[in-house]
A and B are shown apart, each in its own frame.
Chain A
């Protein structure tokens, strides 16, 4: 059954969102429903990609899962426990770089384990070096983030998150703003990371190609108020090289996702026409 967020639900869910509603109330303005009755499941060990038009509540959902925000109603659950606040079991990678500019790459990376006292400094550094080696940043451990390129910053950020051994990674449009080449490289890094660790991942994006390259499963969100509209299983083999990306099955899945997404996009533009550009409709009205 499609059209329902729980369409692909299986028993061993790692993250569950049940009927979550989040309303932003600004005095003197109509309340904005960022999420309304939103339900979804992120299965353990799967790479789930959440796709939706911009401003559809994706980031609000990510904030609730990370514990920075709380729903007005409904529940967000990780491994059977309600999410009460931020924690090192869920690592978030943000739209813009969130590396601390005053710390070197190494200090950024070992911040989590040393602050919380989970690891001794030397132990944390050893693990950090291992991770930085893996993403080709071993030469940059003493460098400040501002001296790194966008792609290197993202890789450093992945290391900073991974060193905490999270159960779930939430990546909120993490590769936005990177050039095409770097972006493709980062996507490959992420898939490799995912295959190596089998970590549960929730990747949020506005781009269908990115979703299709990464996902085990794609969740399509509705426009505001946001909720999950459609769940598409991406049963494409990995590695997803150009053969796969040119296959009939790829095109079928793409069409399915596009159809759902463009319906939502069209709704936004319909609204915009009426609200923001009343003049655009005026000639037709006078002629009629």
Chain B
């Protein structure tokens, strides 16, 4: 009997090429760019301000050789990374504590709920006044974006732990700290992963806006500068780059959360 094996690359490509859904997808993408090209070339009057895909591709190619472009990736990436990491480092323990310890909850939850509805961008002015450098204020706003999300998710995760999971650990003689580390924390990991996934999206949202308002560098700033200079292909390239950056970081977060949850990989 033949052993089931993962199909070879060639077989998989052949299967792809044979499937109707694949070709529909290809048609849709080509159609999108085709329509864009035609309408920017003058078919639709209100699209005339938008550069054609060909112009964008040319601008992209040129930018790839400019150090300033890569410095933008680096700076935005750093801000996202530090803001996001700080949000996890502070937010996960805060969420666990608030969710698991009643007394701690009484102390922290009211203040948390008071601050949570304030949108991250509303923190921009006070952040610029408070932090000594622009870099710190942007990272702080990024932090705010991810912080409330992760705390809310961890809090929900702790709240929805099946009580049987905790009860049985107590019956087996586990101490309160063993219950926390061996049961409560791992039971919350899926919620932490969800919080991180949502949080990374928000961080990119926030960092781009903050850079446009308060930054001198970064992908958001590059996009804004292209706008100020009236260089429309640059705007589109900036947008695409930001999308790519978000896509890559979501992928990284997903990879990390899968590492954290080996039991979720069913096969």
Given A88-B172, A88-B173, A68 and B167 contact (CB-CB distance below 8 Å): yes
Q: Assess A102 versus B261: contact at CB under 8 Å? Given A66-B167, A86-B167, A96-B164.
A: yes
User: Number of contacting residues on B, CB 8 A?
Assistant: 24
Total A-B residue contacts, Cβ distance less than 8 Å: 71
Find residues 127-169 in chain A having any chain B CB closer than 8 Å to their own CB: 144-147, 160, 164
Residues of A within 8 A of B263 (CB): 101-103, 144-146
Check B266–A115 contact: CB distance below 8 A.
no
Query: Is the contact region of chain B dominated by helix, strand, or loop, or is it mixed?
Result: helix
Given known contacts A68-B167, A94-B168, A147 and B266 CB-to-CB distance under 8 angstroms = yes
- Please, how many angstroms separate the alpha-carbon atoms of A67 and B175 in the complex? 15
- Chain A contacts with B in 108-125, Cβ cutoff 8 A: 111-112, 115-116, 118
Please tell me the size bucket of the interface on A.
20 to 34
* Docked complex: B155-187 residues within 8 A CB-CB of A: 162, 164-165, 167-175, 178, 182-183, 186-187
Mask for B140-166, Cβ within 8 A of A = 1, else 0?
A: 000000000000000000000010110
Complex CA–CA separation, A103 to B46 (angstroms): 59
Considering only residues 201-241 of chain B, those with a C-beta below 8 Å from chain A are none
B50 on the A face (CB < 8 A)? no
B interface residue numbers (CB < 8 A to A): 162, 164-165, 167-175, 178, 182-183, 186-187, 189, 261-264, 266-267
Partner of B164, one of A94, A145, A146: A94
Contact between A112 and B173, CB atoms less than 8 A apart: yes
Beta-carbon contact of A98 and B167 below 8 Å: yes
Assess whether A90 is interfacial by the CB under 8 Å rule: yes
Query: Which one of A86, A91, A118 has the greatest number of beta carbons of chain B within 10 Å?
Result: A86
Q: How far is the CA of A92 from the CA of B165 in the complex (A)?
A: 11
CA distance A100 to B164 in the complex (A): 10
For the complex formed, measure the closest distance between the CB of B183 and the CB atoms of chain A, giving whole angstroms: 7
> Whole-angstrom distance from the CB of B235 to the nearest CB of chain A?
46
Q: Could you give 20 example pairs across A and B, Cβ below 8 Å?
A: A67-B171, A68-B170, A86-B170, A87-B173, A88-B171, A92-B167, A94-B168, A96-B164, A100-B169, A102-B189, A102-B263, A115-B173, A115-B174, A115-B175, A116-B174, A144-B262, A146-B266, A160-B168, A164-B172, A164-B173
B contact residues around A88 at 8 Å (CB): 171-173
B162 and A96 form a contact (CB under 8 A):
yes
Q: Which 3 A-B residue pairings sit nearest by Cβ, starting from the closest?
A: A116-B173, A112-B172, A98-B164
| Chain A: minimal CB distance from B30 (Å) | 42
A120 to chain B: closest CB distance in Å?
A: 15
Contacts of A147 in B (CB 8 A): 266-267
| Other A-B pairs beyond A66-B171, A111-B169, A116-B172, 13, CB < 8 Å | A66-B167, A68-B167, A86-B167, A94-B164, A100-B183, A100-B186, A102-B187, A102-B189, A111-B172, A111-B182, A115-B172, A144-B263, A164-B173
Q: Using Cβ atoms and an 8 Å threshold, which residues of chain A touch B261?
A: 102
Check B266–A100 contact: CB distance below 8 A.
no
Which B residues touch A146, using CB under 8 A? 263-264, 266
From B162, B169, B171, B262, contact of A90 by CB (8 A) = B171
Contact B174 A98 (CB under 8 A): no
In the complex, which residues of chain B have a beta carbon less than 8 angstroms from the beta carbon of A118?
173
